[in-house]
DNA sequence: TTATATTTGCAACCAAGTTGCAATAAGTGG
DNA sequence: CCACTTATTGCAACTTGGTTGCAAATATAA
């Protein structure tokens, strides 16, 4: 056996994602677990979940890293595009279940595409 | 009069963009001017060029900020999409002159979209 | 040429993220 | 149920990108 022990910390971090379909920034996750584990641990656990294909990541508008559960995401779908949305008012981030075509570009071999939509979420549109 | 003096530093930073259509990361720009000006100055000048509409910015794959000249970019086109490309091998970044449609999303008011394509540039495709 | 307001340099700071290493605690096997 | 091996964690120190406040320098208008 090479790895993967079921620790308290791992359970706690996973619970957050299990209870909600939201995306969470690393900053939020470190904050919400600050009494039960070290920030290094949070970073390491998130890394691991990503490698295991349980979570996918993307960058929000300030270059902050966000994590979200891979619901209807096969590993293949990580390559095709599902865009993410971030609200300019409240900062909330969502995965959108829309498919966007990856444009073809002459002389370039495109492997991956990231799309971030910015605007106002339903709660912030007045 | 409220601002905008023509200083040596401003000329030097602008020259870089004037001579090339490439995009440059802040890190590169600070590095290439490190003998003639302070990093704070570089940051401030870039900020200014952006506000003046001479440069536009976007985030590369690691959340690093990149600047590029606004060639055929009206201020309107900043809202519509012109995607950016970053090479996974050499790290080079380009503005693509392709138009991508911003998808409509129910219950969301989309103001802006960022699209980053990742892959291999022509020089790195073997 | 001087006065004044914009720019700059500097040093100190902040936040996100990483690293090395010793201490802790899962999960065997006996 | 205990002992042992090795994955996991905590901690402190560090790195990197970026920002701030303030005093010194320097463009420009008069």
Measured between CB atoms, does B102 come within 8 Å of chain A?
Answer: yes
pLDDT value, residue A97: 87
* ipTM for this prediction: 0.88
Partners of residue B65 in chain A, C-beta under 8 Å:
63
pLDDT of B72: 58
Nearest CB partner across the interface for A59, out of B59, B98, B119: B59
- Asked if A107's CB is within 8 angstroms of B85's CB, the reply is no
pLDDT at B10: 97
Q: How many CB atoms lie under 10 A from the CB of residue B71?
A: 10
Query: Which residues 50-79 on B are within 7 A of strand D at the CB atom?
Result: 64-65
Which of A64, A105, A119 lies nearest to residue B112, judging by beta carbons? A119
Contact B55, B46 (CB under 8 A): yes
Residues of chain A with pLDDT under 70: 1-3, 72-80
Residue ranges of alpha helices (H) inside B4-53 are 8-18, 26-32, 39-51
Cβ of A25 less than 7 A from strand D = no
B78 touches chain A (CB under 8 A): no
Check residue B80 and give its pLDDT: 57
Based on the number of CB atoms within 10 Å of its own CB, is A121 exposed (0-12), middle (13-18) or buried (19 or more)? buried
Beta B24-25 vs B55-59: how paired, if at all?
Answer: unpaired
Domain ranges of chain B: 8-119
Q: For A70-88, b where at least 16 C-beta lie within 10 A, e where not — what string?
A: beebeeeeeeebbbbbbbe
Query: Given the structure tokens 């370039």, which residue do they identify?
Result: A108
Q: Which nucleotides of D are covered by protein (CB under 7 A)?
A: 7-12, 16-21, 26-29
What is the reported pLDDT for A73?
58
pLDDT attached to residue A100: 87
Strand order in the sheet with B24-25: B24-25, B65-69, B55-59
Mapped onto helix, strand or coil, the DSSP state of residue A44 is helix
For residues A78 and B101, what is the distance between their CA atoms, to the nearest angstrom? Answer: 20
Distance from CA of B38 to the nearest CA of A (A): 24
- Among the partner-chain residues B61, B100, B107, the one whose CB lies closest to the CB of A122 is B107
Q: Which residue is nearest to nucleotide D7 (CA to C1')?
A: A3
Pick A8-119's CATH classification: 3.40.50.180, 1.10.10.10, 3.40.50.1860, 3.40.50.1700: 1.10.10.10
Angle between helices A8-18 and A39-51 (to 10 degrees): 70
* A54-to-A2, A35, A57, A73 alpha-carbon distances in Å: 19, 24, 10, 9
Residues of B in contact with A125 (CB under 8 A): 107-109
pLDDT beneath 50, residues of chain B: 1, 75-76, 78
Q: Which residues of B31-61 are buried (b: 16+ CB within 10 A; e: fewer)?
A: eebeeebeeebbeebbeebeeeebbbebbbb
- Note whether A103 contacts B: Cβ–Cβ < 8 A: yes
Q: What single string gives the DSSP state of each residue in A75-111?
A: TTTTTSB--EEEETTT--EEE----BPPPP-TT-EEE
């Amino acid at each position: 056996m090479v790895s993967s022990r079921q620790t308290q910390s791992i359970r706690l971090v996973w619970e957050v994602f299990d209870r909600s379909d939201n995306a969470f920034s690393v900053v939020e996750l470190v904050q919400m677990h600050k009494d039960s584990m070290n920030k290094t641990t949070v970073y390491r656990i998130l890394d691991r979940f990503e490698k295991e294909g349980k979570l996918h990541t993307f960058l929000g508008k300030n270059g902050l890293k966000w994590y979200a559960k891979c619901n209807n995401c096969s590993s293949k779908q990580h390559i095709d595009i599902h865009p993410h949305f971030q609200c300019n008012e409240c900062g909330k981030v969502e995965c959108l279940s829309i498919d966007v075509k990856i444009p073809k570009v002459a002389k370039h071999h495109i492997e991956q595409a990231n799309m971030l939509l910015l605007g106002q979420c339903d709660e912030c549109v007045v």
